[in-house]
């Protein structure tokens, strides 16, 4: 007898993908993510009662939970199918607590959303995994203890709104440490020497100086370079050895989460967040015409390189049929799973090879297609034969020097037919083995003609700033966070304005540097990379049942309370700190000091409040203070004094040098030219997009705006520039990737008086609004 079953997944998209494979005895509903969380206004954890958390049904999910309860009342059993990871396990436990009383409650895990996988999982439901839930609980409690107890100290000592995080702060430290290395780096001069040589057979070829007197060549300056060049001008260049060998290049393993994020960054210029959101959609299901929604890839949060036997066999058949037997190794490739990896899920791969990227391109967005193709190609490549190269190495002696020339040509492309790994900029300097470079036929003892010696001055380079790809790799190699957290870490540290991502490179902001210095000094244990990695290992041990949550929390919290006590007392009070300078205030002649404000550091007169002069500044490489305020040739239209170029959190503007007696300001256009504000009431030839009447320029406490002249019948307003130009586009609303957490419909990007926000497209039936976050580029 079939039981009526309620299947609960996280995402509304999965409802359709799973539902199409099931009969009427199954009802599929979505929780739309977490349904319970710790309270926002209080710590929500009682350290005196075993760190007991106080979970509450989220306000935005009360309606969802009520609907799930109604559906559960009609079901014989509840099958909980959130994502197969720690967060998914927590969602399952919280749903069970709310709707599972008196019901059969089981857990099902979908590694992919294909027909066979879904039916197999439903045929073999599991019990909820208490240890996995405990691991998630421990992480959540640790993060809450750190964030909610360190952040208020930062509010008091630096500024309100700052946050500290158990993992995010360590990630910021990694970036700050790299920046400190770059600033402390002292370039050293060195010289390379290349000989252009000609043998009996064409063409001429280059050989690089490798050794002098049997030791690695080190030429430190131009004088020494000239000496070496002079000693070689009349010396014979003789071929000492010629070595030819076949070199194999093995294919890379299939994607883990971190490797997918790294390669998507290098090849597709995707942020980690964009990679994960796109992969999530590919996993949950894409509408493929008459076939309906199809889950195209396996679960995308994994650090395992394991592949199912069925997937390997399918890949081998596909390679043999589409590329030929020459590309198929005699045995399937089995990749070794790293010792620290959690092997609960397979590597990321196509869920089936029945949907080649080109065949379904019409159903995918450009981003989905590119990422799916990347995953597809990497999966096929990992089961292909290696690439074979014929490599030639020629050593040449001249005087006391040894030169070397290398060349290699592709003999058989193997896996590189479908995939090659991306490289960081530092690595992208040509093949070290001279790939693609052909050398002429030479023989041992052959005397070569010296065509030219090419000395080249170089300087050692500082370590590069982190890209998203290299930062993810650094976090992974140091055990900071887990695959499921990398994208969130990178987004959070940017949202908090602790780091900037400019031209693809991370650098710390002044705020990030100051906060990191304070945290490292006052919480050295928590900001220690090794400690953070050790805590991740502890979470793994809890999931494996090898240690208890309470033991881990007690071991952490006892010393943490003492660190908190000392920090409250001893942490430097940046808000009230003043650093003396030798800059003289041009208004009253007193010296100025460096102070900290809500927009960062600035210069302030020591004669405050009698003199309220302030100015922004920068510092050069030597630490010299350079005031940014500059006198312009623009006269103040009110008092006639010169206007000063100044900076606020809204950008650059001109302020009267007669301040505070004259407080006139002029906004600047993006190109730096002054913008003359239009008079209030001016009609800027803009029609209301709601009633068609003219719009008039008005000014409110939030700045200039256009208001409909049909007011009060029509209350339409549009944000405007000082000159009266509308800032809000009348283009169709932009649909975002974020789903409404109340009704599950898409949200649209809208503009309000405080800036952009996400509004539910179900308006007016659903009036939910959500915070808008600028997408990472």
Which amino acids are annotated catalytic? 299
DSSP-derived 3-state class of residue 86: helix
C-alpha triplet 181, 184, 187: angle, nearest 5°: 100
CA distance 649 to 647: 7
CA distance 547 to 539: 9
**Residue 403 belongs to what H/E stretch?**
strand 401-412
Residue 329 tokens, joined: 């190794």
Residue 52: beta bridge partners? Answer: 46
CB 655 within 8 A of CB 616: no
Sheet holding 614-615, edge to edge: 579-584, 591-597, 600-605, 614-615
Residue 649: CB atoms within 10 Å: 8
CA distance 278 to 369: 10
Question: Is the bond leading into 660 cis (omega within 30 degrees of zero)?
Answer: yes
Backbone torsions φ then ψ of 28, nearest 5 degrees: -110, 125
DSSP-derived 3-state class of residue 135: helix
CB 89 within 8 A of CB 128: yes
Q: What are the distances in angstroms from CA 697 to CA 430, 637, 653, 686, 713?
A: 59, 21, 21, 10, 18
Backbone torsions φ then ψ of 317, nearest 5 degrees: -65, -40
| Contacts with 555 (C-beta within 8 Å, 6 or more apart), sequence order | none
* The residue to which tokens 């790809």 are assigned: 469
Measured distance between the N- and C-terminal CA atoms of the chain, rounded to whole angstroms: 53
Count H helices, E strands: the chain?
16, 36
Q: What are the distances in angstroms from CA 175 to CA 76, 261, 470, 478, 505?
A: 53, 18, 11, 13, 10
The 8-class DSSP code of residue 464 comes to P
* The residue to which tokens 């008459």 are assigned: 290
Q: What is the 3-state secondary structure (H, E, C) of 341-399?
A: CCCCCCCECECCCCCCHHHHHHHCCHHHHHHHHHHHHHHHHCCCCCEEEEEEEEEEEEC
CB 187 within 8 A of CB 601: no
CB 762 within 8 A of CB 744: no
CA distance 391 to 434: 8
């Amino acid at each position: 007898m079939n039981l009526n079953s309620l299947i609960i997944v996280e995402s509304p998209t999965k409802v359709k993908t799973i539902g199409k494979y099931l009969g009427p005895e199954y009802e599929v509903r979505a929780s739309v993510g977490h349904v319970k969380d710790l309270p926002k206004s209080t710590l929500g954890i009682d350290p005196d009662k075993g760190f007991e958390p106080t979970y509450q049904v989220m306000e935005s999910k009360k309606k969802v939970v009520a609907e799930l309860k109604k559906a559960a009342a009609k079901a014989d059993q509840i099958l909980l199918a959130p994502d197969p990871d720690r967060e998914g396990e927590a969602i399952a436990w919280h749903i069970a607590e709310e709707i599972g009383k008196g019901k059969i409650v089981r857990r099902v895990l979908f590694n992919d959303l294909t027909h066979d996988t879904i039916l197999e999982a439903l045929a073999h439901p599991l019990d909820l995994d208490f240890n996995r839930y405990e691991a998630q609980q421990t992480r959540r409690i640790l993060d809450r203890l750190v964030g909610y107890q360190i952040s208020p100290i930062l509010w008091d000592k630096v500024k309100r709104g700052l946050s500290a995080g158990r993992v995010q702060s360590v990630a910021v430290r990694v970036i700050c440490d790299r920046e400190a290395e770059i600033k402390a780096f002292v370039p050293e001069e060195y010289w390379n020497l290349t000989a252009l040589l000609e043998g009996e057979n064409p063409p001429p070829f280059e050989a690089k100086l490798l050794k002098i007197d049997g030791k690695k060549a080190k030429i430190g300056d131009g004088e020494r370079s000239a000496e070496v060049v002079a000693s070689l001008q009349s010396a014979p260049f003789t071929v000492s050895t010629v070595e030819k060998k076949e070199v194999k290049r093995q294919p890379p393993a299939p994607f883990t989460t971190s490797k997918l994020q790294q390669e998507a960054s290098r090849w597709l210029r995707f942020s980690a967040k964009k990679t994960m959101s796109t992969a999530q959609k590919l996993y949950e299901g894409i509408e493929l015409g008459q076939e309906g929604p199809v889950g195209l890839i396996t679960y995308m949060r994994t650090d395992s390189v394991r592949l199912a036997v069925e997937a390997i066999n399918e890949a081998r058949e596909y390679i043999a049929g589409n590329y030929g037997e020459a590309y198929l190794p005699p045995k399937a490739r089995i990749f070794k799973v790293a010792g620290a990896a959690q092997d609960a899920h397979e590597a990321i791969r196509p869920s089936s090879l029945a949907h080649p990227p080109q065949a379904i391109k019409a159903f995918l967005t450009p981003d989905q297609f590119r990422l799916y193709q990347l995953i597809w190609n990497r999966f096929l490549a990992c089961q292909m034969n290696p690439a074979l190269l014929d490599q030639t190495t020629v050593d040449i002696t001249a005087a006391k020097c040894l030169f070397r020339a290398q060349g290699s040509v592709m003999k058989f492309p193997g896996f590189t037919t479908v995939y090659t790994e991306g490289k960081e900029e530092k690595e992208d300097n040509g093949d070290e083995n001279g790939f693609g470079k052909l050398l002429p036929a030479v023989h041992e003892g052959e005397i070569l003609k010296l065509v030219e010696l090419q000395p080249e001055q170089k300087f050692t380079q500082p370590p590069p700033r982190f890209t998203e790809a290299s930062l993810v790799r650094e976090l992974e190699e140091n055990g900071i966070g887990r695959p499921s957290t990398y994208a969130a870490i990178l987004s959070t540290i940017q949202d908090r304005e602790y780091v900037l991502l400019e031209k693809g490179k991370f650098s710390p902001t002044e705020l990030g540097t100051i906060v990191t210095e304070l945290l490292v000094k006052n919480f050295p244990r928590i900001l220690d990379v090794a400690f953070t990695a050790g805590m991740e290992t502890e979470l793994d041990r809890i999931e494996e049942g090898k240690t208890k949550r309470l033991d881990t929390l007690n071991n952490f919290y006892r010393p943490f309370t003492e660190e908190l006590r000392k920090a409250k007392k001893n942490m430097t009070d940046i808000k009230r700190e003043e650093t003396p300078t030798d800059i003289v205030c041009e208004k009253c002649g007193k010296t100025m000091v460096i102070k900290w404000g809500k927009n960062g550091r600035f210069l302030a007169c020591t004669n405050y409040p009698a003199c309220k002069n302030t100015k922004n500044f920068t510092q050069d490489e030597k630490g010299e203070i350079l005031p940014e305020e500059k006198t312009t040739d623009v006269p103040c239209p009110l008092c006639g004094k010169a206007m000063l170029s100044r900076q606020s959190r809204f950008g650059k503007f001109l302020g009267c040098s007669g301040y505070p007696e004259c407080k006139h300001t002029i906004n600047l256009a993006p190109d730096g030219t002054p913008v003359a504000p239009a008079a209030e009431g001016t009609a800027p030839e803009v029609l209301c997009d709601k009633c068609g009447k003219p719009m008039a320029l008005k000014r409110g406490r939030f700045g200039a705006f256009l208001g409909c002249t049909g007011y009060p019948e029509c209350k339409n307003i549009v944000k405007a520039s000082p000159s009266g130009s509308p800032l809000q586009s009348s283009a169709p609303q932009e649909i975002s990737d974020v789903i409404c957490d109340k009704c599950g419909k898409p949200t649209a990007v809208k503009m309000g008086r405080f800036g952009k926000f996400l509004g539910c497209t179900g308006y007016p039936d659903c009036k939910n609004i959500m915070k808008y976050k600028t997408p990472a580029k």
